Amino acid sequence: MRRALTLAATPGVPLGPNPRVGCVLLGADGAEIAEGFHRGAGTAHAEVAALAEAGDAARGATAVVSLEPCNHTGLTGPCTEALVAAGVRRVVFAQRDPNPVAAGGAEALRAAGIDVEAGVMEPVAKGVNKAWTFAVEHNRPFVTWKFAATLDGRSAAADGTSHWISGTDARRDTHALRAECDVLLVGTGTVLVDDPQLNVRDEVDQPVEHQPLRVVMGEREVPADRRIHQGPGEAQHLATRDPAHALAELYAAGRRHVWLEGGPTLAAAFLRAGLVDEVVAYVAPTFLGAGAPAVGDLGITTITDQLRWHLKRAAVIGTGADATVRLTLTPGGDH
């Protein structure tokens, strides 16, 4: 199962509507026969990829899969039928499929006479598909809000300049985390003022092959010469100020993880709506004393109403004067 989970997390797989899945086929003696992983929407599922590699050797084998085999026909056929047809004897999987459309694989396999074991390393498997699992269970994308700020909570100086608050290593770290999402979202104000590229770039600052969808949210027009319209990948303008409406549109389009990187106004709108599921904050060892705050007005007037978050992890990114502290937080009990 550890190998199946490693396969599921293979880097470079396009993200989106489908989960990341890995599969290992074992012979009667426990030796590996074949393996496979899902490479993105429309491609063979992990089980089918492994079965194709195994050929006739799959008969009587054990399939170890990171997610319950699907039991529906989408862009590809049901994995349950492929496993039965291949003569697999036993199936062991980690996470039960939370998608009601695709669920029921375990029951279908048992009905076909296949021995099934569920829940092996399930917490790890859920971690591999954290955003996808959340999205399917809540019918909206998982939202990560990222911001960079000074020690006094400023995201820009008094003259509006904000490049660069965080260090070079922190910016590279940001791109690595951006690559785990399938939407990069900013507001029209950020596009008009900062004109960001809003893409994922590699260690030498070049765009990678698979880009998240670049989304601008807001009612103001976005000029055609803005850099968000340039480069590989797609861009979209959601002409709304309603976070829930924007997330509904993105979910309907198959998007499951939104990386929110707008200014203080957009961030405040998502927080007020209770639609931020994770915060990634890069705190630089510097002070400005004035300038734009990291987040706008939340309507909080007394300390007892503060939005309290749990610190999930902290890491120092970079060294010396270039060092930045990255904090990852999840909503607190009174959020």
**Of residues 159, 130, 161, 131, the one with CA closest to residue 148:** 161
Compute CA 100 distance to the chain's CA centroid, rounded to the nearest angstrom.
20
d(CA 324, CA 124): 29
Structure tokens at 100: 């009601």
Tell whether residue 307 is among the known ligand binding residues.
no
The distance of Cα 320 from the centroid of its chain, to the nearest Å, equals: 31
Q: Does the annotation list 82 as a binding residue?
A: no
CA angle 77, 79, 82 (to 5 degrees): 90
> Is 69 annotated as a binding-site member?
no
Residue closest to 278 by CA, chosen among 246, 326, 241: 326
Is residue 201 marked as binding?
yes
Q: Is 47 a catalytic residue?
A: yes
Residue of 47, 107, 203, 209 with catalytic role = 47
Say whether 261 counts as a known binding-site residue. Answer: yes
> Is 70 labelled a binding residue?
yes
106-137 burial by CB neighbour count: b if 16+ within 10 A, else e? bebbeeeebebeeebbbebbbebbebbbbbbe
Amino acid at 13: V
Is 59 flagged in the annotation as binding?
no
| 162 assigned to a ligand binding site | yes
Residue 79 in marked binding region: yes
Residue 238 assigned to a binding site:
no
Q: Is 309 annotated as a binding residue?
A: no
Is the Cβ–Cβ distance between 94 and 129 less than 8 Å? no
45 annotated as ligand-binding: yes
What is the dihedral sign for C-alpha 104, 107, 110, 111?
Answer: negative
Q: Give the C-alpha separation, 96 to 108, whole Å.
A: 13
Determine the 3-state secondary structure of 309 from DSSP: strand
- The neighbouring-strand residues paired with 281 are 147, 327
Determine whether the annotation assigns residue 178 to a binding site: yes
DSSP state of 247: H
155 is in an annotated binding site: no
324 annotated as ligand-binding: no
Nearest residue to 96 via CA among 64, 128, 129, 69: 69
Mark the binding-site residues, compressed into ranges. 45, 70, 79, 148, 162, 164, 178, 190, 194, 198, 201, 261, 263-269
Mark the binding-site residues for NADP(+), compressed into ranges. 148, 164, 190, 194, 263-269
Mark the binding-site residues for substrate, compressed into ranges. 162, 178, 198, 201, 261
Mark the binding-site residues for Zn(2+), compressed into ranges. 45, 70, 79
Residues designated catalytic:
47
